[in-house]
Amino acid sequence: MDPFWSDIFRIGLSCVVAWAIALYLAPGIIAAAERYGIVDSPDHPLKQQEKPVAYLGGLVIFIGFVLGLAVTTEFDARVLGLLLASSLVVAVGLIDDLGTLIPRDKLLGQILAALILVKSGLQLNLAGVPYPINETATILWLVTCMNAFNIVDVSDGLATTAGIIGALSVGVLATLSGDHQAATVAFCLLGGCLGFLKYNKAPARMYLGDTGSMMLGTILGGLFVAGQYSQANQMAAFIAPLSLLAIPLFDLALVIIARLATGKTIYHGSTDHFAVRLRGAGWTPNQIALAAGVAGAIFAAGGITLSLATPQSALWLCLGILSFGFLLLFIMLLKFPAPSAQKEQS
């Protein structure tokens, strides 16, 4: 078989294997979580469920992801770094799901995971920028991705949908650039997310928990610094990966802006998330996930197009993507006010 088509077959196989394993494992992990009380109870304004829902969904995706990779690819420094870093955040998230970690300890775990990725060679290489600044910028990017997925996970199927869009986008970009190993990793994550979505869409039978949301941010954040996604200019190279993770990054920006505007600390839980705003306006969780998926796909298509653009057209594409993002931000702030905690609970 031609080496190219052999790689394409392996990429597709990784997705199918991870999908099948996630589908197979989910019912058993749901039963175990419910049996041992590892559940999320409806005891907070952000929680929409009517009864306790099993945690540990991140384990479903992660096990499918790891086994899918074991079957289909060789483990080089990049893959081992991703596996080690994601294993660390899964452990940190699991501890938080089982009890409560203070923000400082969670942040420390995230920084350590980011350092692992940097030392394995997954880091930004901004032209003309000293190595220590590139390293620091990479850590900030990775920690931002982890927290963005953690924050957006407030509605059934939403973070999983964002993970699907992100994994598919980086998989396509890696395939187009000839980095078939990165594509295999991305499509393996895609398969795990697709298998889990059956149990995470509304009404959810299982949640990602911190275990899964931070794991998605770690893997996708690492994959996005693994390659150069635009040769047009520095601005295009910066905007392209941002557009592929537009939905979680958008919610992170919205929440931070809204909390600062009302005098809250950025770590203070609130109803400022776009999903909660839309829910307050009468949207269902499935409608929210679908709308986020469509918006995410539009941003991702823009990012992929930007990665292939000529220097002449890259600037206009960057401006278009940024304008679309700011337009959505202003619409969300002005047209969909955050519901009060009392209203959400009623």
Specify the pLDDT at position 270: 78
Distance in Å from the first CA to the final CA of the chain? 61
Q: What is the DSSP string of 220-253?
A: HHHHHTTS---SS-HHHHHHHHHHHTHHHHHHHH
Helix pair angle (234-244, 158-177), 10° resolution: 140
- Copy the structure tokens of residue 68: 């899918």
* CA gap 135, 119 in Å, rounded: 9
The residues spanned by each domain of the chain are 3-345
Specify the pLDDT at position 337: 82
- Which residue is it, tokens 């080089």? 76
Specify the pLDDT at position 275: 92
Residues in the chain with pLDDT values less than 50: 341-346
Specify the pLDDT at position 45: 61
Nearest to 192 by CA among 88, 75, 11, 60: 60
How much of the chain exceeds pLDDT 90, in percent? 53
Specify the pLDDT at position 346: 34
Specify the pLDDT at position 1: 66
Specify the pLDDT at position 344: 42
* CA gap 224, 50 in Å, rounded: 37
Specify the pLDDT at position 213: 96
